[in-house]
């Protein structure tokens, strides 16, 4: 691949966690954005990668680039597996030029599923970065008002024009417990139509009246053909799956307009 060369030598590329080692060629800091999350909220990892190798580095962010295991308060361990990528699929890279430092936000949707309050650990593992680091975090009892307040905070992100930041916002909102996250996700998609590509799967997965109403509204708002096509294909797939006859006829009617 041009421009970005992979660092292949495990002897040279040493990753370190928060209290890093300054001699490392590629040094990595991993920290939770918040030390505690409310049940239903995803943990966001702030990752800083510094490339001191003298060679440009390309992090390939494929489906399994970061492995994660959660250690529960009772000591049991569960590994997170990314969803499979069938048919035609792809992933992006992240280039870190020699001598530079890059920040990356990683949303861990599996932590939003944790329902038991307590102290947890997450083992973050990345063979590419030669990283294996434990992260401690707490899960607080479910509190809808706190989750909604968090969603408001996320949605009012301070960098509206930066794509990478906006994708993280959408990833957080799609990971939030459905009944909480859905209206905020819809608001985000009203504000920025280009984010529909990152939210379509979630709206299909929810497949309820809220997501259908959202999609029908977005369909009227969106002018770009690619964005409307995504909305239409999600509506068609929900239509094919739903047993709700009223929803079924509303989708059909919307698609005829």
167 binds other proteins (CB under 8 A): yes
Q: Which helix (H) or strand (E) holds 163?
A: helix 163-175
Q: Is 85 in the site for other proteins (CB under 8 A)?
A: yes
CB of 139 to other proteins, least distance (A): 30
103 vs 117: CA distance, rounded Å: 30
Angle 131-135-141 from CA coordinates, rounded to 5°: 150
**Edge-to-edge order in the sheet of strand 43-51:** 26-32, 43-51, 101-108
156 binds other proteins (CB under 8 A): no
Please identify which residue in 119, 152, 162, 253 interacts with other proteins, judged by CB under 8 A.
Answer: 162
Q: ∠ at Cα 80 (176, 116), nearest 5°?
A: 55
**Residues forming beta bridges with residue 80, ordered by sequence position:** 68
Please, which residues have CB within 8 angstroms of residue 162's CB and are 6 or more apart in sequence?
A: none
Dihedral angle at the C-alpha atoms of 61, 226, 188, 39, nearest 10 degrees? -50
Judged by CB under 8 A, does residue 191 bind other proteins?
Answer: no
End-to-end CA distance of the chain: 46
Q: Is 164 in the site for other proteins (CB under 8 A)?
A: yes
Measured CA to CA, the distance from residue 43 to residue 40 in angstroms comes to 10
Positions 59 through 78 that interact with other proteins (CB under 8 A): 60-62
In this chain, which of 138, 194, 213, 242 binds other proteins, going by CB under 8 A? 194
Cβ contacts of 36 within 8 Å, gap of 6 or more: 137, 138, 139, 140
CB of 101 to other proteins, least distance (A): 12
Q: Minimum distance between the CB of residue 157 and other proteins, rounded to whole angstroms?
A: 13
Residue 69: φ, ψ to 5°: -125, 140
Chosen residue from 163, 190, 205, 252 binding other proteins by CB under 8 A: 163
Is 89 a binding residue for other proteins by CB under 8 A? The answer is: yes
Site for other proteins (CB under 8 A): which residue of 45, 200, 203, 254? 200
Q: Is there binding between residue 1 and other proteins (CB under 8 A)?
A: yes
Query: Is there binding between residue 251 and other proteins (CB under 8 A)?
Result: no
Q: What are phi and psi of 84, to 5 degrees?
A: -65, 155
Site for other proteins in 93-132 (CB under 8 A): 93-95
For residues 212 to 241, the per-residue mask of contacts with other proteins, x marking binding by CB under 8 A and - elsewhere, is ------------xxx--xx--x---x----
Cβ closest to other proteins, residue 79 vs residue 197: 197
- The stretch among 20-28, 67-75, 88-96, 207-215 that binds other proteins (CB under 8 A) is 88-96
- Shortest distance in whole angstroms from residue 64 CB to other proteins: 13
- Binding interface with other proteins (CB under 8 A): 1-4, 58, 60-62, 85-95, 159-164, 167, 193-194, 197-198, 200, 224-226, 229-230, 233, 237
């Amino acid at each position: 691949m041009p421009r970005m060369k992979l660092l292949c030598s495990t002897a040279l590329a040493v990753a370190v966690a928060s209290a890093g080692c300054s001699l490392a060629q590629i040094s990595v800091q991993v920290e939770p954005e918040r030390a505690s999350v409310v049940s239903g909220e995803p943990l966001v990892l702030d990752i800083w990668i510094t490339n001191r190798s003298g060679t440009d580095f390309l992090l390939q962010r494929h489906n399994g680039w970061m492995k994660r295991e959660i250690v529960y308060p009772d000591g049991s361990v569960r590994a997170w597996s990314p969803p499979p990528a069938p048919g035609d699929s792809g992933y992006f890279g992240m280039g870190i030029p020699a001598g530079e430092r890059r920040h990356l936000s990683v949303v861990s949707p599996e932590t939003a599923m944790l329902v038991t309050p307590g102290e947890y650990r997450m083992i973050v593992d990345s063979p590419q970065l030669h990283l294996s680091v434990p992260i401690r975090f707490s899960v607080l009892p479910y509190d809808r008002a706190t989750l909604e307040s968090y969603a408001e905070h996320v949605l009012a992100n301070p960098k509206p024009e930066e794509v990478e930041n906006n994708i993280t916002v959408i990833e957080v909102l799609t990971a939030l417990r459905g009944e909480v996250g859905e209206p905020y996700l819809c608001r985000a998609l009203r504000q920025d139509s280009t984010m529909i590509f990152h939210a379509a799967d979630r709206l299909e997965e929810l497949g309820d009246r809220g997501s259908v109403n959202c999609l029908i509204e977005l369909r009227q708002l969106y002018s770009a053909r690619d964005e409307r096509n995504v909305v239409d294909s999600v509506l068609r797939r929900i239509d094919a799956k739903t047993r709700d006859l009223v929803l079924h006829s509303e989708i059909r009617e919307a698609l005829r307009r």
